[in-house]
Structure 1
Amino acid sequence: MIELVLMNHEQYEAFRDQSAADYAAEKVAAGTWDAVDAERLATESFAKYLPQGKDTPGAYIYNIVDTAKQQIIGYIWLQISDAPAGKQAFLYDILIYEPYQGKGYGQATMKALDQVAIEEGAVKIGLHVFGHNLKALHVYEKAGYQITDYQMSKTLTL
Protein backbone atom coordinates (compact mmCIF):
# COMPACT_ATOMS: atom_id res chain seq x y z
CA MET A 1 0.00 0.00 0.00
CA ILE A 2 1.15 3.54 -0.78
CA GLU A 3 0.96 6.44 1.64
CA LEU A 4 1.91 10.05 0.94
CA VAL A 5 3.77 11.51 3.93
CA LEU A 6 4.63 15.20 4.12
CA MET A 7 8.39 15.80 4.11
CA ASN A 8 10.36 17.24 6.99
CA HIS A 9 12.87 20.06 6.44
CA GLU A 10 15.88 17.82 5.73
CA GLN A 11 13.91 15.61 3.35
CA TYR A 12 12.65 18.73 1.57
CA GLU A 13 16.19 20.03 1.04
CA ALA A 14 17.25 16.70 -0.51
CA PHE A 15 14.11 16.71 -2.68
CA ARG A 16 14.73 20.30 -3.82
CA ASP A 17 18.32 19.55 -4.81
CA GLN A 18 17.46 16.36 -6.72
CA SER A 19 14.30 17.74 -8.30
CA ALA A 20 16.05 20.92 -9.47
CA ALA A 21 18.92 18.90 -10.97
CA ASP A 22 16.47 16.56 -12.72
CA TYR A 23 14.43 19.52 -14.00
CA ALA A 24 17.54 21.20 -15.37
CA ALA A 25 18.55 17.98 -17.14
CA GLU A 26 15.06 17.55 -18.63
CA LYS A 27 15.02 21.15 -19.90
CA VAL A 28 18.43 20.62 -21.53
CA ALA A 29 17.26 17.29 -23.06
CA ALA A 30 14.16 19.03 -24.41
CA GLY A 31 16.35 21.71 -25.98
CA THR A 32 14.74 24.48 -23.95
CA TRP A 33 17.76 25.48 -21.88
CA ASP A 34 21.50 25.59 -22.49
CA ALA A 35 23.50 23.28 -20.21
CA VAL A 36 25.59 26.23 -19.00
CA ASP A 37 22.53 28.05 -17.61
CA ALA A 38 20.32 25.11 -16.63
CA GLU A 39 21.32 24.76 -12.97
CA ARG A 40 20.84 28.50 -12.32
CA LEU A 41 17.50 28.58 -14.15
CA ALA A 42 16.22 25.54 -12.24
CA THR A 43 17.22 27.12 -8.93
CA GLU A 44 15.43 30.33 -9.92
CA SER A 45 12.34 28.33 -10.88
CA PHE A 46 12.23 26.64 -7.47
CA ALA A 47 12.64 30.02 -5.75
CA LYS A 48 9.70 31.33 -7.78
CA TYR A 49 7.31 28.41 -7.22
CA LEU A 50 8.39 27.50 -3.68
CA PRO A 51 9.41 30.86 -2.15
CA GLN A 52 8.83 29.55 1.37
CA GLY A 53 10.17 26.08 0.65
CA LYS A 54 7.99 23.25 1.88
CA ASP A 55 5.91 25.81 3.81
CA THR A 56 4.81 27.64 0.66
CA PRO A 57 1.01 28.02 0.79
CA GLY A 58 -0.71 25.48 -1.43
CA ALA A 59 2.41 23.30 -1.76
CA TYR A 60 2.15 19.63 -0.81
CA ILE A 61 5.49 17.86 -0.99
CA TYR A 62 5.39 14.23 0.03
CA ASN A 63 7.54 11.20 0.36
CA ILE A 64 5.92 8.21 -1.31
CA VAL A 65 6.02 5.41 1.22
CA ASP A 66 5.44 1.69 0.69
CA THR A 67 3.74 1.02 4.02
CA ALA A 68 4.25 -2.75 3.84
CA LYS A 69 8.02 -2.31 3.52
CA GLN A 70 8.18 0.94 5.53
CA GLN A 71 10.35 2.24 2.68
CA ILE A 72 10.42 5.64 0.98
CA ILE A 73 10.19 4.82 -2.72
CA GLY A 74 10.00 8.30 -4.21
CA TYR A 75 8.53 11.76 -3.88
CA ILE A 76 5.75 13.91 -5.27
CA TRP A 77 5.05 17.67 -5.39
CA LEU A 78 1.48 18.89 -5.79
CA GLN A 79 0.39 22.52 -5.80
CA ILE A 80 -3.24 23.51 -5.17
CA SER A 81 -4.61 26.95 -5.91
CA ASP A 82 -7.94 28.71 -6.32
CA ALA A 83 -9.19 29.25 -9.85
CA PRO A 84 -12.44 30.59 -11.33
CA ALA A 85 -13.67 27.05 -12.08
CA GLY A 86 -12.83 25.80 -8.56
CA LYS A 87 -9.65 24.66 -6.84
CA GLN A 88 -7.07 23.35 -9.29
CA ALA A 89 -4.20 21.01 -8.49
CA PHE A 90 -1.01 20.85 -10.50
CA LEU A 91 1.49 18.01 -10.31
CA TYR A 92 4.91 19.65 -10.54
CA ASP A 93 7.06 16.61 -9.91
CA ILE A 94 6.89 12.92 -9.25
CA LEU A 95 9.73 10.46 -8.99
CA ILE A 96 9.61 6.77 -8.23
CA TYR A 97 13.19 5.78 -7.41
CA GLU A 98 14.82 3.48 -9.96
CA PRO A 99 14.68 0.20 -7.96
CA TYR A 100 10.90 0.61 -7.57
CA GLN A 101 10.01 1.52 -11.15
CA GLY A 102 7.92 -0.88 -13.22
CA LYS A 103 6.30 -2.44 -10.16
CA GLY A 104 2.95 -0.59 -10.14
CA TYR A 105 4.03 2.12 -7.70
CA GLY A 106 3.41 4.87 -10.25
CA GLN A 107 -0.25 3.94 -10.65
CA ALA A 108 -0.72 3.49 -6.91
CA THR A 109 0.85 6.88 -6.31
CA MET A 110 -1.40 8.55 -8.87
CA LYS A 111 -4.45 7.10 -7.07
CA ALA A 112 -3.14 8.39 -3.72
CA LEU A 113 -2.55 11.77 -5.37
CA ASP A 114 -6.16 11.85 -6.59
CA GLN A 115 -7.34 11.24 -3.03
CA VAL A 116 -5.19 14.05 -1.59
CA ALA A 117 -6.41 16.48 -4.25
CA ILE A 118 -10.05 15.54 -3.59
CA GLU A 119 -9.56 15.93 0.18
CA GLU A 120 -8.10 19.40 -0.43
CA GLY A 121 -11.15 20.36 -2.52
CA ALA A 122 -9.53 20.29 -5.97
CA VAL A 123 -11.81 19.62 -8.92
CA LYS A 124 -9.05 19.03 -11.47
CA ILE A 125 -5.39 17.99 -11.64
CA GLY A 126 -3.07 19.20 -14.37
CA LEU A 127 0.53 18.35 -15.16
CA HIS A 128 3.27 18.86 -17.72
CA VAL A 129 5.26 16.02 -19.23
CA PHE A 130 8.29 16.40 -21.47
CA GLY A 131 7.67 14.95 -24.93
CA HIS A 132 10.72 12.67 -24.68
CA ASN A 133 9.52 11.12 -21.40
CA LEU A 134 7.45 8.29 -22.84
CA LYS A 135 7.51 6.27 -19.62
CA ALA A 136 5.85 9.10 -17.67
CA LEU A 137 3.40 9.76 -20.48
CA HIS A 138 2.30 6.11 -20.31
CA VAL A 139 1.79 6.30 -16.53
CA TYR A 140 -0.30 9.46 -16.83
CA GLU A 141 -2.45 8.14 -19.67
CA LYS A 142 -3.03 4.90 -17.78
CA ALA A 143 -4.10 6.98 -14.75
CA GLY A 144 -6.77 8.72 -16.85
CA TYR A 145 -5.02 11.93 -17.88
CA GLN A 146 -5.77 13.32 -21.32
CA ILE A 147 -3.66 15.56 -23.51
CA THR A 148 -5.04 19.10 -23.37
CA ASP A 149 -2.59 20.79 -25.76
CA TYR A 150 0.65 20.25 -27.61
CA GLN A 151 3.75 22.40 -27.75
CA MET A 152 6.12 21.43 -30.52
CA SER A 153 9.49 22.56 -31.80
CA LYS A 154 11.92 21.82 -34.57
CA THR A 155 15.69 22.19 -34.45
CA LEU A 156 16.96 23.99 -37.50
CA THR A 157 20.25 23.24 -39.20
CA LEU A 158 21.96 25.88 -41.27
Structure 2
Amino acid sequence: MDESTFQFFLSQSTREYAAEKVKSGAWDPDNALKLSQEAITRFLPSGLHTEGAYLYSVVHEDVEESIGYIWFNVTEGRGGREAFIYDIYIFEPYQGKGYGKLTMQALDEEASKMGVTKIGLHVFGQNTRAFELYKKMGYIITDISMSKELKLEEDRS
Protein backbone atom coordinates (compact mmCIF):
# COMPACT_ATOMS: atom_id res chain seq x y z
CA MET A 1 0.00 0.00 0.00
CA ASP A 2 1.38 3.40 -0.90
CA GLU A 3 0.93 6.59 1.13
CA SER A 4 -2.00 8.02 -0.88
CA THR A 5 -3.85 4.70 -0.69
CA PHE A 6 -3.08 4.58 3.02
CA GLN A 7 -4.72 7.99 3.52
CA PHE A 8 -7.85 6.75 1.71
CA PHE A 9 -7.79 3.53 3.75
CA LEU A 10 -7.38 5.47 7.01
CA SER A 11 -10.35 7.72 6.27
CA GLN A 12 -12.64 4.91 5.12
CA SER A 13 -11.60 2.46 7.83
CA THR A 14 -12.10 5.06 10.55
CA ARG A 15 -15.62 5.90 9.30
CA GLU A 16 -16.59 2.24 8.81
CA TYR A 17 -15.33 1.17 12.25
CA ALA A 18 -17.19 4.04 13.93
CA ALA A 19 -20.40 3.15 12.06
CA GLU A 20 -20.13 -0.54 13.02
CA LYS A 21 -19.52 0.32 16.68
CA VAL A 22 -22.61 2.58 16.66
CA LYS A 23 -24.70 -0.07 14.88
CA SER A 24 -23.64 -2.67 17.45
CA GLY A 25 -24.68 -0.34 20.27
CA ALA A 26 -21.17 -0.08 21.70
CA TRP A 27 -20.60 3.61 21.00
CA ASP A 28 -22.63 6.81 21.03
CA PRO A 29 -22.87 8.38 17.55
CA ASP A 30 -21.62 11.73 18.86
CA ASN A 31 -18.28 10.27 20.00
CA ALA A 32 -17.86 7.37 17.59
CA LEU A 33 -15.57 9.02 15.04
CA LYS A 34 -13.21 10.31 17.74
CA LEU A 35 -13.11 6.91 19.45
CA SER A 36 -12.48 5.20 16.13
CA GLN A 37 -9.58 7.53 15.33
CA GLU A 38 -8.09 6.86 18.77
CA ALA A 39 -8.41 3.08 18.34
CA ILE A 40 -6.79 3.04 14.92
CA THR A 41 -3.99 5.36 16.08
CA ARG A 42 -3.31 2.99 19.00
CA PHE A 43 -2.64 0.11 16.57
CA LEU A 44 -1.02 2.22 13.83
CA PRO A 45 0.99 4.79 15.84
CA SER A 46 3.44 5.36 12.96
CA GLY A 47 0.81 5.06 10.25
CA LEU A 48 1.82 3.06 7.24
CA HIS A 49 5.28 2.58 8.74
CA THR A 50 4.15 1.03 12.04
CA GLU A 51 6.39 -1.88 12.98
CA GLY A 52 4.51 -5.18 12.84
CA ALA A 53 1.62 -3.70 10.84
CA TYR A 54 0.96 -4.95 7.32
CA LEU A 55 -1.32 -3.01 5.01
CA TYR A 56 -2.02 -4.27 1.52
CA SER A 57 -4.13 -3.08 -1.35
CA VAL A 58 -6.18 -5.88 -2.86
CA VAL A 59 -5.59 -5.58 -6.60
CA HIS A 60 -7.66 -7.16 -9.35
CA GLU A 61 -5.04 -8.63 -11.70
CA ASP A 62 -7.12 -8.34 -14.88
CA VAL A 63 -7.71 -4.60 -14.60
CA GLU A 64 -4.76 -3.76 -12.30
CA GLU A 65 -6.89 -1.63 -10.02
CA SER A 66 -7.43 -1.68 -6.29
CA ILE A 67 -10.62 -3.47 -5.27
CA GLY A 68 -10.10 -3.30 -1.50
CA TYR A 69 -7.57 -3.56 1.28
CA ILE A 70 -6.47 -5.66 4.22
CA TRP A 71 -4.68 -4.65 7.43
CA PHE A 72 -3.23 -7.06 9.94
CA ASN A 73 -0.63 -6.84 12.69
CA VAL A 74 1.83 -9.57 13.66
CA THR A 75 2.98 -9.99 17.25
CA GLU A 76 4.62 -12.62 19.42
CA GLY A 77 1.92 -14.59 21.22
CA ARG A 78 1.90 -17.46 23.70
CA GLY A 79 2.17 -20.03 20.93
CA GLY A 80 4.51 -18.15 18.60
CA ARG A 81 3.93 -15.49 15.97
CA GLU A 82 0.27 -14.46 15.69
CA ALA A 83 -1.52 -12.22 13.24
CA PHE A 84 -4.67 -10.25 13.96
CA ILE A 85 -6.79 -8.89 11.13
CA TYR A 86 -7.92 -5.37 11.98
CA ASP A 87 -9.62 -4.60 8.70
CA ILE A 88 -10.46 -6.33 5.47
CA TYR A 89 -12.67 -4.58 2.97
CA ILE A 90 -13.63 -5.36 -0.59
CA PHE A 91 -15.20 -2.39 -2.35
CA GLU A 92 -18.93 -2.64 -2.98
CA PRO A 93 -18.89 -3.42 -6.74
CA TYR A 94 -16.61 -6.42 -6.08
CA GLN A 95 -18.40 -7.87 -3.05
CA GLY A 96 -20.03 -11.27 -3.34
CA LYS A 97 -17.75 -12.34 -6.20
CA GLY A 98 -15.20 -14.41 -4.29
CA TYR A 99 -12.58 -11.69 -3.78
CA GLY A 100 -12.91 -11.81 0.01
CA LYS A 101 -12.16 -15.53 -0.04
CA LEU A 102 -9.18 -15.02 -2.37
CA THR A 103 -7.89 -12.26 -0.11
CA MET A 104 -8.16 -14.50 2.94
CA GLN A 105 -6.31 -17.28 1.09
CA ALA A 106 -3.55 -14.83 0.11
CA LEU A 107 -3.33 -13.75 3.75
CA ASP A 108 -2.89 -17.37 4.83
CA GLU A 109 -0.02 -17.77 2.38
CA GLU A 110 1.67 -14.49 3.34
CA ALA A 111 1.26 -15.08 7.09
CA SER A 112 2.65 -18.59 6.75
CA LYS A 113 5.76 -17.20 5.02
CA MET A 114 6.16 -14.84 8.01
CA GLY A 115 6.14 -17.78 10.42
CA VAL A 116 2.68 -16.96 11.76
CA THR A 117 1.01 -19.93 13.43
CA LYS A 118 -2.36 -18.36 14.29
CA ILE A 119 -4.61 -15.67 12.78
CA GLY A 120 -7.32 -13.96 14.80
CA LEU A 121 -10.01 -11.43 13.96
CA HIS A 122 -13.14 -9.78 15.30
CA VAL A 123 -16.41 -9.72 13.43
CA PHE A 124 -19.43 -7.63 14.37
CA GLY A 125 -22.54 -9.71 15.04
CA GLN A 126 -24.57 -7.91 12.39
CA ASN A 127 -21.99 -8.66 9.67
CA THR A 128 -23.35 -12.06 8.67
CA ARG A 129 -21.67 -12.07 5.25
CA ALA A 130 -18.21 -11.73 6.82
CA PHE A 131 -19.08 -14.18 9.60
CA GLU A 132 -20.06 -16.84 7.05
CA LEU A 133 -16.90 -16.24 5.01
CA TYR A 134 -14.70 -16.59 8.07
CA LYS A 135 -16.41 -19.87 9.04
CA LYS A 136 -15.86 -21.20 5.50
CA MET A 137 -12.19 -20.21 5.76
CA GLY A 138 -11.74 -22.31 8.90
CA TYR A 139 -12.06 -19.69 11.63
CA ILE A 140 -13.76 -20.83 14.82
CA ILE A 141 -15.66 -18.85 17.43
CA THR A 142 -13.44 -18.15 20.43
CA ASP A 143 -15.67 -15.73 22.35
CA ILE A 144 -19.20 -14.40 22.03
CA SER A 145 -20.57 -11.20 23.53
CA MET A 146 -24.31 -10.64 23.37
CA SER A 147 -26.67 -7.87 24.39
CA LYS A 148 -30.38 -7.16 24.47
CA GLU A 149 -32.20 -3.84 24.44
CA LEU A 150 -34.96 -3.43 27.02
CA LYS A 151 -37.87 -1.03 26.90
CA LEU A 152 -38.30 1.03 30.05
CA GLU A 153 -41.73 1.06 31.68
CA GLU A 154 -42.42 4.66 30.61
CA ASP A 155 -41.57 3.72 26.97
CA ARG A 156 -44.24 1.00 26.92
CA SER A 157 -47.23 3.27 27.43
Give the alignment's TM-score, normalised by structure 2. 0.94
Q: 2:126 maps to what in 1?
A: 132
Question: How far apart are the structure 1 equivalents of 2:11 and 2:144?
Answer: 29
Report sequence identity in percent. Answer: 49
Runs of 4+ in 1 over 6 A off after TM superposition: none
1:70 lines up with 2:64 in the alignment: yes
Shift of residue 9, structure 1, vs aligned partner: 1.1
Give the letter aligned to residue 31 of structure 1.
G
Match of 2:38 among 37, 40, 44: 44
Give the alignment's TM-score, normalised by structure 1. 0.94
Give the letter aligned to residue 79 of structure 1.
N
In structure 1, stretches of 5+ residues that fail to align are 1-6
Question: How far apart are the structure 2 equivalents of 1:49 and 1:26?
Answer: 18
Give the letter aligned to residue 24 of structure 1.
A
Larger Rg: 1 or 2? 2
Task: Give the 5 Å matches for 1:76-155.
Answer: 76-155=70-149
Shift of residue 127, structure 1, vs aligned partner: 0.3
Structural RMSD (CA): 0.8
Higher RCO (C-alpha 8 Å, min separation 6) = 1
For these two proteins, the number of residue pairs brought into alignment is 152
